[in-house]
A and B are shown apart, each in its own frame.
Chain A
Amino acid sequence: MEQIKNWMKREVISITPDATLREVAALILEKRVGTLPVVDNGGTLVGTVSITSIVKLFLPDFVAVMDEIDFVHDYGDLENASAEDQQRAKMLHVTDVMEEPIAMEDEAGLVHALSVMEKHNLRDLIVTRDGKLVGIASQVDIGRAFLTDFTKETGPLYS
Chain B
Amino acid sequence: MLIYISVVLLFAASFAGILAGKAHRAIFAMAGAVLMVLLGIVLDFYSQEQALLAIDFNTLGLLFGMMVIVAILKNTGYFEYVAILTAKRTKGNPWILLIALGTITTVASLFLDNVTTVILMAPVTVLIAGILGISPIPLLMAEAFLSDTGGVATLVGDPPNILIGSAANLSFMDFVVNLAPIVLVAWLVTLILIRLLFREEMAQEPSNLDALEALNEHEAMKDRASANKILIILLGVVALFFLHQTLHMQAGFVALIGAAAALIWLRPDLEEVLDGIEWPVLLFFAALFVVVGGIEASGLLDLAGESLTSLSSQDVILMGVALIWVAAVASAIIDNIPFTIAMIPIIQALGRPGLDITPLWWALALGAGFGGNATPIGSTANMVVVSLSEKTKSPITTRIWLRSGVPIMIATCVVATILFVIRFGILK
Q: Which chain A residues have a beta carbon within 8 Å of chain B's beta carbons?
A: 60-62, 64-78, 84-85, 88
Contacts and interface: CB of A to CB of B under 8 A. Distances in A.
B356 interface: no
Given A65-B122, A65-B126, A72 B131 contact: yes
A84 to B, nearest CB: 8
Contacts of A66: 123-124, 126-127
B131 A64 contact: no
B220 A71 contact: yes
Contacts of B219: 70-71
Contacts of A62: 123, 126-127, 130-131
Given A62-B126, A74-B211, A78-B211, 17 more contacts: A60-B130, A61-B136, A64-B391, A65-B123, A65-B127, A66-B124, A66-B127, A68-B222, A71-B216, A72-B131, A74-B208, A74-B214, A74-B215, A76-B211, A77-B207, A78-B208, A84-B393
25 contacts: A61-B126, A61-B129, A61-B130, A61-B136, A62-B126, A64-B392, A65-B123, A65-B126, A66-B127, A67-B123, A68-B222, A70-B219, A71-B215, A71-B216, A71-B220, A72-B127, A72-B131, A73-B214, A73-B215, A73-B216, A74-B214, A74-B215, A76-B207, A77-B133, A78-B133
A119 to B, nearest CB: 24
A45 B219 CA distance: 46
Nearest to A84: B393
Contacts of B392: 61, 64-65
Nearest to B214: A74
Interface of B: 77, 80, 122-124, 126-127, 129-131, 133, 136, 207-208, 210-211, 213-217, 219-220, 222, 388, 391-394
Most buried by A among B127, B129, B388: B127
B402 to A, nearest CB: 23
Contact of A76 (B123, B127, B210, B217): B210
B131 A88 contact: no
A58 to B, nearest CB: 10
Q: Is the interface of B mostly helix, strand, loop or mixed?
A: helix
Nearest to A88: B393
Nearest to A75: B211
Contacts of A69: 127
B319 to A, nearest CB: 44
- Top 3 nearest A-B pairs (CB, nearest first) are A76-B211, A76-B208, A74-B214
A76 to B, nearest CB: 3
A78 B222 CA distance: 25
Contacts of B124: 66
A156 to B, nearest CB: 45
Nearest to B217: A71
Contacts of B213: 74
A74 B392 CA distance: 20
A85 B214 CA distance: 24
B209 to A, nearest CB: 9
Contacts of A68: 77, 220, 222
A48 B393 CA distance: 23
Contacts of B127: 62, 65-66, 69, 72
A68 B236 CA distance: 30
Contacts of A60: 130
Contacts of B207: 76-77
Contact of A65 (B211, B217, B391): B391
A66 B207 CA distance: 21
B424 to A, nearest CB: 43
Contacts of B215: 71-74
A70 B214 CA distance: 12
Contacts of B393: 61, 84-85, 88
Nearest to B394: A61
A77 B206 CA distance: 11
Given A61-B136, A65-B123, A66-B124, A76 B391 contact: no
A49 B136 CA distance: 30
Contact of B131 (A70, A76, A84, A85): A76
Most buried by B among A60, A62, A69, A88: A62
Contacts of A77: 133, 207-208, 211
A66 B123 CA distance: 6
Contacts of A84: 393
Contacts of A65: 122-123, 126-127, 388, 391-392
Most buried by B among A60, A70, A71, A72: A71
A66 B130 CA distance: 12
Contact of B130 (A70, A78, A88): A78
B79 to A, nearest CB: 12
B396 to A, nearest CB: 13
A4 to B, nearest CB: 36
Contacts of A73: 214-216
Contacts of A64: 391-392
Contacts of B129: 61
A91 to B, nearest CB: 12
Contacts of A70: 219
B224 to A, nearest CB: 13
Contacts of A78: 130-131, 133, 208, 211
